[in-house]
Amino acid sequence: MDIYMLMHKETPVAEVRLPFEKNKLEVTALHQASHLPVGVSLRRGKVDTAALNDWWIDRFIPDTRSGLNEALSDFDLPDPYILLILNHGLSLSDHYWLAQKSTLSWEQLNFFTNPFPTSIGDALMGKRRFDGVSFRSPDLTCNGNLKKCWAILDGKRCLVKAGSGPFQQQPFNEVIASKMAERLGIPHIPYTVIWDEGLPYSVCEDFVTPDTELIPAWRMMQTQKKDNQTSVYQHYRSCCKKLGISNMAHALDQMLVLDYLIANEDRHFNNFGLLRNPDTLEWLGPAPIYDSGSCLGYDKLTAQIRSGRNITCKPFKKTHQDQLRLVTSFDWLDLSKLGGIEQDIREVFAGAEEFIDKERVEAIVTSVNQRIQMLETFTLTQQPQADSTENDVERNVAAEYGMGQQL
Ligand SMILES: Nc1ncnc2c1ncn2[C@@H]1O[C@H](COP(=O)(O)OP(=O)(O)OP(=O)(O)O)[C@@H](O)[C@H]1O
Ligand SMILES: [Mg+2]
């Protein structure tokens, strides 16, 4: 049988067909339009199937995930989509899933309160231990290009994520970014580093709970059509406003300032968002800052970190200088709180010399200090100016650690 109920936690949203060979949802009956995924609208009373399937495809591990092909060959599978049905499409970041007539309830199946085996996660992390027993895994519905898996550590659901390339820098960067956010009072998810078989991994707790869910900014951007005169930044704010979320400026100010300081190169629209109550659909506010690891020259040579040139910027403007001009107020910012951040940075990299030598650490420290100073000057001299579409990012594409994923 290929008939399912698309569920939002315990709310039936729509009856769908999912022909095995196509991996495309076809809506056969709509039950609760308000619970459709954000950005999936009705056209003359009918669900926009193309939009629904864009959302559905986005739920999977992207084809560009580092190490995916090796893991799939372990399962003897051509693609990960068929596995998704076996885990009911359940995730640890939101509450959508597919039920069949005979399926158990959300209470019995969800990954937030029920344990899950790590066999798929192990395979995705490059540890060839897949035993073929169970496909139940929240890893099948976790996007992003870096190798990663969900694990239950001390009873808490945690995302364990690798670095890439010769420097393996992203796990350390996550920690530095969260330390800077902490000092500046910016809501964020704390990260730590663990080592396994000589490689560093970042670990952060799931910030989603049975009563909240993450709605990535990408979904918000799908709720309105953007015209050519509206900047990407204004479009995002206007999408939020139309959904009744009006106080976005401050959270965006904080994110843009942090991204400037760490020279973040990958804040695409799936790397920030909002939290919502899945039962009442009430908007709860911005999600804490997460996934800031592609920063501090993570894939650049030490000399390039020193030069500070060719730093990619997302999601709104092509340069960090232009993006900083979008900040509406620096009143909340106390840069003196970053006094001593040099020492924090050195401590985070201590023990990682095999990947990040002393010279590289010092180049990173110097570059952070320079950006703090430039930001200070900017806050003192900057005159408010109207935003336009000039220098807008045209295509938001996630950074590739081998290949790329278009958003
Ligand atoms: N702490 C968290 N709690 C809940 N969901 C999370 C958490 N961290 C990440 N996610 C979800 O998992 C996805 C993948 O995580 P993350 O963005 O950190 O991976 P990534 O591989 O670095 O991504 P990218 O391709 O953007 O570099 C995120 O897009 C988000 O949906
Ligand atoms: Mg990401």
- Closest atom of ligand 1 to 216 CA is 31
Cα of 63 from ligand 2 centre, angstroms: 14
Sign of CA dihedral 114, 120, 125, 128: positive
Minimal-distance CA residue to ligand 1 atom 7: 206
- Residue 128's pLDDT band, with cuts at 50, 70 and 90, is low
Q: Which pLDDT tens digit goes with each residue over 63-98?
A: 888 888 887 777 777 666 667 777 889 999 999 999
Give tens-digit pLDDT for 329-348.
999 999 999 999 999 999 99
The angle that helices 248-262 and 170-184 make with each other, rounded to 10 degrees, is: 130
Is the Cβ atom of 64 under 6 angstroms away from ligand 1? no
State which ligand 1 atom lies nearest to the alpha carbon of 204: 1
The answer to whether the CB of 270 is under 6 A from ligand 1 is yes
Confidence of residue 350 (pLDDT cuts 50, 70, 90): very high
Dist. CA 49 → ligand 1 center (Å): 26
Name the closest-CA residue to atom 24, ligand 1.
Answer: 144
- Rounded CA-CA distance 249/395 in Å is 22
Residue to probe by mutation, ligand 1, list 60, 64, 93, 178, most atoms within 8 Å of CB: 93
For the Cβ of 295 lying below 6 angstroms from any atom of ligand 1, the answer is no
The preferred substitution site among 271, 289, 312, 401 for testing ligand 1, maximizing ligand atoms within 8 Å of CB, is: 271
114: CA distance to ligand 1 center in Å? Answer: 21
- For ligand 1, atom 25, which residue shows the shortest CA distance? 144
The closest-lying atom of ligand 1 relative to the alpha carbon of residue 290 is 8
Interatomic CA distance for residues 95 and 104, integer angstroms: 15
- The Cα 290–Cα 253 span in angstroms is 15
How far is residue 142's CA from residue 354's CA, in Å, rounded to a whole number?
30
Rounded CA separation 199/163 (Å): 8
Give the whole-angstrom CA distance, residue 62 versus residue 47. 25
The residue type of 222 is: Q
Asked whether residue 372 carries a pLDDT value surpassing 90, the answer given is yes
400 vs 118 pLDDT, higher one: 118
Are the C-beta atoms of 99 and 162 separated by less than 8 Å? no
Q: Kindly tell me if the per-residue pLDDT of 133 is higher than 70.
A: no
The span from the CA of 351 to the CA of 396, in Å, is 35
Nearest to 162 by CA among 179, 177, 145: 145
What is the band of 25 on the pLDDT scale with cuts at 50, 70, 90? Answer: very high
Q: Is any ligand 1 atom within 6 A of the Cβ of residue 316?
A: no
The per-residue pLDDT of the chain, averaged, comes to 92
User: So what's the pLDDT on residue 80?
Assistant: 64
Which pTM does this prediction carry? 0.94
Cβ within 8 Å of residue 72, ≥6 positions away: 78, 79, 80
Question: Rounded to an integer, what distance in angstroms lies between the CA atom of residue 158 and that of residue 117?
Answer: 14
Nearest CA to ligand 1 atom 1: 206
User: pLDDT band at 107, cuts 50/70/90?
Assistant: very high
- pLDDT-wise least confident of 222-236, 285-299, 310-324, 388-402: 388-402
Split at pLDDT 50, 70, 90, the class of 263 is very high
Q: Is the CB of 74 under 6 A from ligand 1?
A: no
Tell me the mean pLDDT in the region 142-148.
92
CA atoms of 112 and 210, how far apart (whole Å): 7
For residues 240-269, average pLDDT: 96
Question: Is the pLDDT confidence value at 407 over 80?
Answer: no
The third-level CATH classification (topology) of the domain covering 213-406 is 1.10.1070
pLDDT tens figures, 291-309: 999 999 999 999 999 999 9
Fill in the DSSP letter of residue 385.
-
Q: What is the rounded CA–CA span in Å between residue 252 and residue 239? A: 14
Residue 326 Cα to ligand 2 midpoint, Å, equals: 22
- What is the tens place of the pLDDT at every residue in 194-209? 999 999 999 999 999 9
Is ligand 1 within 6 A of the CB of residue 13? no
In angstroms, what is the span from residue 180 Cα to ligand 2's centroid?
Answer: 19
> Among 63, 61, 62, 38, which residue's Cα sits nearest to residue 48?
38
Across 139-150, b (16+ Cβ under 10 Å) vs e yields bbbbbbbbbbbb
Domain spans, the chain: 213-406
Ligand 1 pocket residue status of 94, Cβ below 6 Å? no
Q: Given the CA of residue 170, which atom of ligand 1 is nearest to it?
A: 22
Q: What is the rounded average pLDDT of the residues 237-260?
A: 96
Model confidence at 59, pLDDT cuts 50, 70, 90, reads confident
Reported as type and span, the H/E element at residue 159 is strand 156-162
- The closest ligand to the CA of 213 turns out to be 1
pLDDT at 247 over 50: yes
Using a 6 Å cutoff on CB, does residue 237 contact ligand 1? no
Q: Provide the 3-class DSSP secondary structure of residue 349.
A: helix
Q: Cα of 291 to ligand 2 centre, how many Å?
A: 5
266 CA to centre of ligand 2 in angstroms: 8
Positive or negative: CA dihedral 311, 312, 314, 320: positive
The stretch 167-186 carries a mean pLDDT of 98
Residue 60 Cα to ligand 1 middle (Å)? 12
Give the pLDDT mean for 45-67.
90
- Which ligand is located closest to the Cα atom of residue 148? 1
Residue 405's pLDDT band (boundaries 50, 70, 90)?
very low
Ligand 1 pocket mutation pick from 68, 140, 141, 143 by most atoms within 8 angstroms of CB: 143
